[in-house]
Amino acid sequence: MQNLEQIRARNVLTFAKSGAVSGDKGGEVIKKIPPLILNHGLLATAAYSFTEKEGWQKVFDAIARHLADVDIAIAPRDVTNRQTLMNFLTHESTTSETLKLATAETMAWLQYARRFVKKEDKA
């Protein structure tokens, strides 16, 4: 059985290798999200992913998949993108404790993402 650190690293590496948030703004998107979550909360920050470009959508889709990972199990397995994550987190049956767990796990995932998702060097 893997520990949480291994699971987070595995999921971030899968995301980073996909090149989903590569390019000029890739690393910056990852760096902008944690302070926004600390100041405004996970739900308000995730709301940006519905309007912002430059990778926000892909980052929150990856966060959704991570939270629904069978080894993390904060969100149900059918949560596969930011829309289904928001539906789950705002559903009347989702407790504030679940939102706190999702926020903490998202912050931990983002710590790995900051290390593995980098801005491309311009040659």
Q: Do you know the residue count of the chain?
A: 123
pLDDT digits (tens, 9 = 90+) for 13-38: 999 888 766 545 556 788 899 999 99
Range list of β-strands (E), the chain:
none
- % residues pLDDT > 70 (the chain): 86
Tokens of 26: 């890739």
> Nearest 5 degrees, angle CA 98-CA 63-CA 53?
125
Q: What is the pLDDT of residue 25?
A: 54
How far is Cα 41 from Cα 29, in angstroms, rounded to an integer?
16
At the second CATH level, the architecture of 4-15+23-116 is Orthogonal Bundle (1.10)
Confidence at 122, pLDDT banded by 50, 70, 90: very low
- The residue extents of the domains of the chain are 4-15+23-116
